[in-house]
């Protein structure tokens, strides 16, 4: 088992390892000593998993919400807070989000607004959740207009990343989730040759430690936290187009293509040398991630979607490597952006 401490004002530990879900009762006793009631927020699909034998050490209710992304609605938030109130959950008590990023985002949001904020613990059960969503305190749900448009910052009192839960995760989600791990590997500029010796435990710990460090330095998305968006400008555009077409594209699958794209763009702009593109595709290939851009993504539609990203202010902004490190680069010329899209499609 590994522990990464998130060094914020409200310090908390992220525990990573096989079976760490069994630390839940201890975590609650230590971090919420006055808690008498725990409310587990989860979906029935998660409740039915063979590893799901959670004990909190105190009285417990289970609030069942729709599975995955379907739970991230204002209506489900209202349902959860109503159920917390009906159960008489007090400000000393604790909410426990159990599931992937969608469930922990929802549970964190509900916990942040119920009684103006009660403690939340995340038991994260997907790769994407463990290395990304459960760490850093961003919570939220979707609006009809767009994803994650309603939310808060609310740090958990602890996070448990149980690697045993990953045994039941579909292979596609396991691979897609690894895109964020690959991204962290690249942000750390670690060599491809070292990947062979890494385990799920060491990789998860590396990614969690990077996010924890970034979040501790920059809790609310200034320059440093923004570097975690490496690969995400094109990825978000692809996701938007795929959603409109009713296609099933995982976030991580889009991020993998976005990382490969950003590498090519950085080379085209003279920020890094040509072999950097090979480095990125080798890292992605190690995790079984495809990095080619399908012809079905129309260049005009991609550029338009990138200009409308909520973080871009209609500008074409990318996180890009350089010899000095990663930086957010605004106002990248549209002709370059298009040229590199065309070159990628040609491969």
Ligand X SMILES: NC(=O)c1ccc[n+]([C@@H]2O[C@H](COP(=O)([O-])OP(=O)(O)OC[C@H]3O[C@@H](n4cnc5c(N)ncnc54)[C@H](O)[C@@H]3O)[C@@H](O)[C@H]2O)c1
- Residue closer to ligand X by CB (options 151, 337) is 151
Could you say whether residue 128 binds ligand X (CB under 6 A)? Answer: yes
Interactions with ligand X, residue window 102-121 (CB under 6 A): 102-103, 105
According to DSSP, the residues that pair with 138 across neighbouring strands are: 153
Contacting residue, 125, 155, 205, 317, with ligand X by CB under 6 A = 125
- The interface mask with ligand X, positions 282-301, x = CB under 6 A, is --------------------
**Using CA atoms, how far apart are residues 6 and 127, in angstroms rounded to an integer?**
19
The label of the residue with tokens 């305190």 reads 137
In angstroms, give the least distance from the CB of 14 to ligand X.
13
**Using CA atoms, how far apart are residues 189 and 279, in angstroms rounded to an integer?**
10
**Using CA atoms, how far apart are residues 211 and 208, in angstroms rounded to an integer?**
5
Query: By CB under 6 A, which span of 3-11, 42-50, 190-198, 288-296 interacts with ligand X?
Result: 42-50
Query: By CB under 6 A, which span of 97-105, 109-117, 239-247, 334-342 interacts with ligand X?
Result: 97-105
Could you say whether residue 211 binds ligand X (CB under 6 A)? Answer: no
Query: By CB under 6 A, which span of 23-31, 84-92, 130-138, 290-298 interacts with ligand X?
Result: 130-138
Q: Which helix (H) or strand (E) holds 319?
A: strand 318-320
Could you say whether residue 205 binds ligand X (CB under 6 A)? Answer: no
DSSP conformational letter for 117? -
Could you say whether residue 49 binds ligand X (CB under 6 A)? Answer: yes
In angstroms, give the least distance from the CB of 230 to ligand X.
13
**Using CA atoms, how far apart are residues 347 and 342, in angstroms rounded to an integer?**
9
The label of the residue with tokens 């500008």 reads 315
Q: Which helix (H) or strand (E) holds 153?
A: strand 146-153
Q: What ranges in 44-190 are assigned the alpha helix state H?
A: 44-47, 74-86, 101-113, 127-128, 171-187
Contacting residue, 66, 136, 156, 321, with ligand X by CB under 6 A = 136
**Using CA atoms, how far apart are residues 176 and 251, in angstroms rounded to an integer?**
7
Q: Enumerate binding residues for ligand X (CB under 6 A).
A: 43, 45-46, 49, 67-69, 72, 99-103, 105, 125-126, 128-129, 132-133, 136, 138, 148, 165, 168-169, 173
């Amino acid at each position: 088992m590994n522990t990464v401490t998130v060094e914020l004002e409200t310090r908390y530990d992220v525990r990573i390892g096989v079976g760490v879900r069994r630390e839940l009762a201890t975590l609650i006793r230590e971090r919420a000593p006055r808690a008498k009631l725990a409310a587990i927020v989860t979906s029935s699909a998660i409740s039915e998993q063979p590893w799901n034998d959670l004990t909190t050490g105190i009285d417990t209710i289970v609030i069942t919400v729709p599975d995955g992304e379907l739970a991230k609605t204002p209506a489900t938030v209202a349902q959860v807070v109503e159920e917390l109130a009906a159960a008489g959950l007090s400000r000393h008590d604790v909410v426990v989000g159990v599931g992937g990023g969608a469930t922990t985002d929802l549970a964190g949001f509900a916990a942040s607004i119920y009684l103006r904020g009660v403690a939340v613990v995340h038991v994260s059960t997907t790769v994407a959740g463990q290395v990304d969503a459960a760490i850093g305190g961003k919570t939220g749900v979707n609006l009809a207009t767009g994803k994650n448009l309603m939310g808060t910052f609310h740090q958990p009192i602890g996070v448990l990343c149980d690697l045993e839960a990953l045994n039941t995760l579909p292979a596609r989600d396991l691979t897609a989730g690894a895109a964020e791990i690959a991204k962290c590997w690249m942000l750390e500029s670690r060599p491809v040759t070292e990947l062979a010796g890494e385990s799920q435990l060491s990789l998860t710990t590396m990614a969690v430690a990077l996010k924890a460090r970034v979040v501790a330095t920059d809790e609310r998305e200034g320059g440093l936290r923004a570097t975690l968006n490496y690969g995400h400008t094109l990825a978000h555009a692809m996701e938007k187009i795929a959603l409109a077409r009713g296609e099933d594209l995982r976030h991580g699958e889009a991020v993998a293509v976005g990382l490969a794209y950003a590498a090519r763009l950085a080379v085209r702009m003279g920020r890094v040398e040509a072999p950097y593109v090979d480095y990125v595709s080798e890292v992605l290939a190690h995790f079984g991630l495809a990095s080619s851009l399908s012809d079905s993504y129309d260049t005009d539609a991609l550029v338009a979607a990138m200009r409308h990203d909520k973080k871009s202010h209609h500008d074409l902004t990318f996180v890009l490597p350089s010899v000095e490190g990663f930086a957010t680069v605004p106002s990248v010329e549209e002709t370059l952006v298009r040229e590199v899209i065309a070159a990628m499609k040609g491969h």
